[in-house]
Amino acid sequence: AEVLVRWFDSNKKMISPGDFIPIFERNGFIMNLDYYVWEKSCQLIRKWLDEGHNPMPISVNISRVSVYNPRLVELLCGLVEKYQIPSNLFQLELTESAYTTNQSSIKAMMEALQEKGFKVLMDDFGSGYSSLNVLKDLKVDVLKIDMRFLEDTENEARGENILAAVVRMAKWLSLPIVAEGVERNEQVLFLKGIGCEYVQGYYFARPMPVAEYEKLAFASEQKEAFSHDLQKEKGDILNNNSQLELLFSNMAQAVAVLEYGEDGMDLVRVNDAYFDLFGFGDVDDIQGSLDASLTDGDKEILYAAFEAAVESEESGECEVLRHIGDREIWISVKLKYISPVGKRHII
């Protein structure tokens, strides 16, 4: 869960954060508000632990102003020590824009917090103009990307392909990614199809008072439902953290998950047996490997099988002759359709 702040005036009317946060950022009061939210969150975690609950982590936002507070690490460590809570239950969200200036001090601050056991989440990833540079230079624990990313373009399919590429990149980096602002079932299905493990938004729940969250998180019947859903998600072969990970990596048969479309195919992930079959040493070698070293005739056979899988949305299969160095081997290809991604398909 993510902790948010709401302000109700004397008439019980809510003042939007969009109205008061910019004012507090200008007059410096945002640092007081940040600390208030952090302490309230630590008090909540302590309360839940004292009541015998096993709470899930909650994340708090750190404003752009507080990021530059030289005492930030001291303040946050002081809170978790004061309330005797595990730092891994108290996660920290920083917007990507906060990283764009004075990166050396931000990097030092992040590393100090991570050494103390905090997880740092990069909020609004992709909203800035230097996202890849930020990701290259700063070792964050989780990426958060807003689904509004898809609404800001006239070409939704192009946006979906970019989002799928971001998820694929995060998987190569073993970096969890959270999609925010998810409101519709088709968005959930799309995200599941491209292997995004974590989803946040109105589709599941709107912002709620603490008491309502406690009912949702700690009621025994809800805990059973959460457990069932988590086990189901862990069974997804696209999920790098799944219980099937060991099975996937150690299957005797070569397995690959690919994106396929009119412009060809791209590998999302492969298992160890795939590397062994084709004699590859690392991930840089494998892109385009499935249709490489085939005759034109065998390429047509392979692509026809992919088209059959796409058309039926179920399966396809074929046999092709592959040239590997001075060897020739017959490869039996069995395809299982998973889901569409924009104008492409996960197979």
**pLDDT in the model for residue 289:** 63
User: Percent of the chain scored above 70 by pLDDT?
Assistant: 82
What is residue 93's predicted lDDT score, i.e. its pLDDT? Answer: 93
Share of residues in the chain with pLDDT > 90 (%): 34
Average pLDDT of the residues in 226-239: 44
Give pLDDT tens digits for 290-339.
777 788 899 999 999 999 999 999 999 999 988 777 778 888 999 999 88
250-299: pLDDT as tens digits: 567 888 888 888 888 887 777 777 777 776 655 445 555 677 778 889 99
pLDDT class of 231 with cuts at 50, 70, 90: very low
C-alpha dist (Å) from residue 304 to 61, 201, 263, 264: 50, 39, 14, 12
| Average pLDDT of span 18-31 | 92
What separation, in Å, do the N-terminal and C-terminal C-alpha atoms of the chain show?
32
pLDDT confidence of residue 259: 85
Task: Judge whether residue 227 has pLDDT over 90.
Answer: no
Q: How far, in whole angstroms, is CA 52 from its chain's centroid?
A: 30
